[in-house]
Chains A and B, each alone.
Chain A
Amino acid sequence: MIAEQSYIKAKTIEQAIKEAYLTQGSFRFLAGGTDVIVNKFQGNETSQLLIDLTGIDALKHVVVIESQIEIGSLVKLDDLKKHKSIADNFPALVDAAHAVASPVIRKTATIGGNILCDNRCIYYNQTEWWRKAAGYCFKCNGDICIATGGKNNCLAKFVSDTATVLISMNACIEVVDNDKTSVIPIETIYTGDGIHPNNLDRTSLITAIIIPINKGDKTIFKKLRQRESIDFGSLMTAVTLRNNGSLKIVLGAVDAKPIIIEAKANDKLDEVIAEAVKKPKTINNDIFSRKYRKEMIGVYLKRSFQELGLM
């Protein structure tokens, strides 16, 4: 018979984590978006228990604490721009949030959910029937990468628009599990393994995103996609220029993890670009070719540098 399914709408962080620990079967936290449901329709998400987090009011805050802003992980993407502190200090974050999916989805999708959006591949984000016909790949318990024909690893792409920007701004996340709370830089959670793209314990929750306010820092976000709405990125770039002249470049959708390049504004920027183009392990798992996405890294970074007055 069809497996018994259950659904819990948690009211508190503690309840959500407790339910995760208590469950006998598989579970999945569910934020607002929800790509999880689409994955479920396609048979890529088979958890029997869905723990819905959207009722946890404690995760919906935006507060300025000294020189940083703390954004609750359940703050909706569409709401970010409504907070003056965010719009004034982090316009690039607003840009990135605005580039996610479509307007109606952004009214329910959350920043925490976007940071943890599962990696994607044109050979994986398909129905159960399709994947059976194609032959299962690494990410669905097969033994091959269809995109590369390789036998080594999965390079399903990291696609979070907001994380790309947040990393470039040196943002941290607060992670809560049963017995501990920790604050870690966002980039440290991404593994580069397309199958298990983050290293958070399954029972842990991102509760907040903490972004330092460094007056004078400037960030530029860009996204390559075929249409101006709905689409996931085929390439995202975020470049932050610090007051002290340092540059933090983040590339998304060209590797299984965000690719970070640190540089200085007075470096030879052509060389920085060349390094950025070279660094990601980009494969043909997207509507745009590997070659083109690589080439666009150069164009997007050059344009970002120009907008920052560096070129």
Chain B
Amino acid sequence: MKQISFKVNGRQYDLLVNSHEMLSTVLRERIGLTGTKIGCEQGSCGACTVLVNNEAVLSCITPALRCENADIITIEALAKDGELHRLQKKFVEKGAIQCGFCTPGMVMTAISLTPTLDLNNGKESLIHQIKEGISGNLCRCTGYKKVIDAVAEYVLETNTDPDSIIINPSDETKSVGVSRPYIEAEKKVRGAADYANDIVMKNTLHCKFLRSIYPHAKIESIDTTEALKLEGVHYIATGKELPITFGILTVSQDETAMAVDKVRYVGEIVAAVAADTEDIASEACKLIKVNYIPIKEYLSIDDSINDIGDNERIHNQGKFNNNVHKKAELRFGDQQQGLQEADITTKMSFEFLGINHGFTEPHAATAYWDENGLTITTATQVPHYLHRALAKVMEVPLNRVRVIKPYLGGGFGGKSDPFPHEMIVSHIARKTGRPVSVRLTREEVFLTNHGRHPSKMTVEMGITKEGVFKVLDADIAIDGGAYGSFGVVTSYYNGVLLQAPYKLNNFGFRTYRVYTNKPQCGAMRGHGAVNSRFAVESMIDDLANTINIDPCELRLMNFLDSNTQTVGQYRITSNGSREALLKVMEESDWKNRIGKLKEGHGLGVACGFFISGSALPIIWNELPQSVVHLKLDFDGRVLITSGSSDIGQGSDTMLAIIVAEVLGIGMDKIFVLAADTLLTPVDFGSYSSRVTFMAGNAAKDAALKLKQEIVDSIVKLKGINAEELNFTNNRIFTNDKQLDLSWIEAVDILMVKRGAVSVSGKYISPKLGGDFKGAGAGLSPSYTFGACIVEVKVDTETGQVKVIDVWGAHDCGKALNPMAVEGQLEGSWHMGVGQAISEQMKYYKGLLLNNNFLDYKIPTALDTPDIHAHIIETIDPEGPFGAKEAGEGAIHPVIPAIANAVYNAVGVRITKLPISAEDVLTQIKENKGI
């Protein structure tokens, strides 16, 4: 330990710190300034940026002792006298904040950047300088666009169009369709929003895990004797203590909290140590001796799909002697007939490497037990399913488990399973009687994975020479890794979600999911259909080329209509495919530019389609999919309670907008309490792009009921006809103003001799779909549609692909908060660029090679193209105010559009993701006959 003196946010500190302690941990854990985030612990993400002597510094790799006598400024000190710094205000106004985890670091970097910007060379130069300046700060939500806009407006001292943003919502009561910052944006930009690892409880033990170093091995023995002798160690748990299996799907309860008899991937948890500090727990892990007997491992689809002879399977399930987890096949129409009717058929094979969500906030959780049973605060997208899984594994009644989701730093599907670490800290907390917390390192986040499945597929399509699609047949295999996760759903989605957005009378697929000895795969943005969509859109591009039709025209000819049904009996209601494609054609000037670009440049197009909430629950029951409670009390405030999980996508704000709109009151009268299973009614959580549609509808239902209560009380007291009452602008009035009540006057009338009024709203999906086996897969009360056109530049001597522009349009039904919808679209397209160009999970003997943010290549601001987002509104008949999803579907078209643009540029057809410069170059040379 060593003494250090420095100033933090103007206050002098004299502290004893460990000699090799980093500034980030001193700020967070000694001083309690948790606005500074830790995302990667290697200086590759920028979330930990603070100012030291007025220069931006990465505090996670800066030794605290280096800062002796320094003047340190953290995000918490930017606001003065309660007023946000003007740059912070810009971040809020522009919607530059989604999950908010990268925000403090991004703001600190930008604060230090702005004085150095040269404003004299025009806007384009300025934007480039900003991109360059923030290119060490990774953001996974925004695609950087709104961040760049915020910084640019700040330095140019320009003001946002006052009509487009409501900074102070209390001035207005028009809610739906108005762009507004998230209700918690200011808290996030101040660094005051607490994420799972920011919440500190007294007397907490810290947990670290010992992880397997073998991909497939029997555990012969575990000796914890030496580890238990280490001072400060309080408990060591091993797999046999927690033998009950769990999993997100009822049909895939195949995982235990720790390996019990054998390990199934390198990185699987074998033992867990709870100690006074993380360092002690880590040291203890090294002292645990595990005897393994390695057995044959299976690392690829090909290994796992075949008979394995006398070797041991990964799981003892299924009746065949292989590692196939799920096989599904569905056929509609007559594919043979379709092939005969087609003039041209084509068959292509594709391969996709796995990718990871790359959310910036590593998993973290704290659990404790008291008279109410278990309480866990954890970074989860699905409090409800975790609630059920914890009750099962802990063997307690459901009413003894409370799951709280604090602010969450991005999910994208990666926090939508119950996780081993959540089970383990809950278990050790019970055993020790103390709170137990855990935070995963970035490496552990990658090992936990649940990312997009590596996939291989062969797809056949047939088309008439006039351009009518006649048949589509897909044969798909996906690599699930060691456990089930969402894999059964993923398997189906790979196939079923190909039955739109085009008319297809003859359609079928066969899909396999195999277990392999690698970290498990699961749901990731655009779940299941991203890779197969890529294949189909690439083939459509190829067919358009063959029959010499513009690929946009070919798609326009084949789109499904609105209010129709697909061949697999999906009910299509609103459908903005056509509008979306026409919009991006217009915006990109497609007709005038296609085929006329300079050498190496290319334009590509693709379309997409996705569910707006799964119509069926994951665990079959008769509960509504969403319930929202409203409580109106004497102060005029409406409290929304909802189990839905805001993961940075803005769902809390969405609920407030809907309730405010129905009641005609300002957002300042709305208070949202969400995602706490003790206090909030059940909502199934944030997956399958369901929250706006389902929780939004439940909120609307509840708000209408509350409105009815108010109407009834006024009618009863004043004898006025209910139909004459208007709810607008914080007033309830008749057209002739005979009655004209303020909101609080109306509330007083309702409360007389009654007090606070609570109502409950719900959403239950209508009965949908066919009665065949597998009919439930992909059923949704509504679907979304979209299109992207992309311009790329291919360096013909290096094969490197640079994405220059993305013009995208997405039919979200109705944008309840257009700025938030844009943010979702921009973020989706950014993420798609990553999968297309740079992201991959690369393995060496089952060991993930690039398990950090230096080697896993999330696009930086400099790698992200200019994104032009367009919202298409089709007013869905069943969505709340016509709204549908916007968080996932948009990612589908962008990836194949990039690949099709590469084809347009240099004649190279991409059949493998990510696009490899080396492969492109080889193809270019082959095409040239070199």
Residues of A participating in the B interface, judged by any CB pair closer than 8 Å: 1-2, 5-7, 9, 30, 33-34, 37-38, 40-41, 50, 52, 54, 101-105, 107-108, 122-123, 126-127, 129-130, 132-134, 146, 224, 226-232, 287-289, 291-292, 295-296, 299, 303
Contacts and interface: CB of A to CB of B under 8 A. Distances in A.
Contacts of B41: 41
Contacts of B280: 2
A5 B66 contact: no
Contacts of A295: 921
Interface string B906-919: 00000000000110
B847 A130 contact: yes
A127 B443 contact: yes
29 contacts: A6-B19, A7-B20, A7-B63, A33-B61, A38-B42, A40-B20, A41-B42, A50-B63, A52-B66, A102-B43, A102-B44, A102-B860, A103-B136, A104-B46, A104-B56, A104-B109, A105-B136, A129-B211, A130-B851, A133-B214, A134-B845, A227-B838, A227-B860, A229-B132, A229-B136, A230-B44, A287-B842, A288-B918, A299-B797
A108 B844 contact: no
Contacts of B842: 287
A295 B280 CA distance: 49
Most buried by B among A7, A30, A33, A291: A7
Contacts of B20: 5, 7, 40, 50
Interface string B203-238: 000000001111000000000000000110000000
Nearest to A132: B213
A231 to B, nearest CB: 7
A226 B834 CA distance: 11
Given A133-B214, A146-B844, 13 more contacts: A6-B2, A7-B65, A130-B847, A130-B851, A224-B798, A227-B838, A227-B857, A227-B859, A230-B135, A231-B854, A231-B857, A288-B917, A303-B797
A292 B916 CA distance: 10
B857 to A, nearest CB: 5
A57 B777 CA distance: 67
Given A103-B136, A227-B863, A289-B918, A108 B62 contact: yes
Given A133-B213, A287-B850, A104 B918 contact: no
Given A9-B68, A108-B62, A230-B860, A133 B56 contact: no
Nearest to A292: B918
B488 interface: no
Interface residues of B, number: 62
Most buried by A among B845, B847, B859: B847
Interface string B112-129: 110000000000000000
Contact of A104 (B136, B214, B854, B860): B136
Given A102-B136, A103-B135, A146-B844, A7 B19 contact: yes
Nearest to B279: A2
Contacts of A132: 213
B18 interface: yes
Contacts of B214: 133
Contacts of B2: 6-7
A37 B63 contact: yes
Contacts of B132: 103, 229
Nearest to A6: B19
Contacts of A7: 2, 19-20, 63, 65
Contacts of B65: 7, 9, 52
Given A102-B46, A104-B46, A105-B58, A5 B19 contact: yes
Interface in B5-48: 18-20, 22, 41-44, 46
Contacts of B211: 129
Contacts of B845: 134
Nearest to B2: A7
Nearest to B858: A227
B704 interface: no
A133 B135 contact: no
B71 to A, nearest CB: 15
Contacts of B133: 103
Contacts of A232: 854
A109 to B, nearest CB: 10
A5 B135 contact: no
Contacts of B854: 230-232
B587 to A, nearest CB: 26
A226 B135 contact: no
A240 to B, nearest CB: 22
B862 interface: yes
B570 to A, nearest CB: 39
Contacts of A287: 842, 850, 855, 857
B49 interface: yes
B398 interface: no
A308 B863 CA distance: 28
B109 A122 contact: no
A123 B61 contact: no
Nearest to B845: A134
B63 A292 contact: no
A52 B68 CA distance: 12
Contacts of B22: 37
A1 B286 CA distance: 12
B918 A38 contact: no
Given A7-B19, A7-B20, A227-B857, A52 B56 contact: no
B57 interface: yes
B266 interface: yes
Contacts of A299: 797-798
A291 B854 CA distance: 22
B849 interface: yes
Contacts of B49: 104
Given A108-B62, A123-B844, A229 B19 contact: no
Nearest to A36: B61
B153 interface: no
B76 interface: no
Nearest to A288: B918
A38 B43 contact: yes
Most buried by B among A38, A54, A104: A104
A101 B134 CA distance: 12
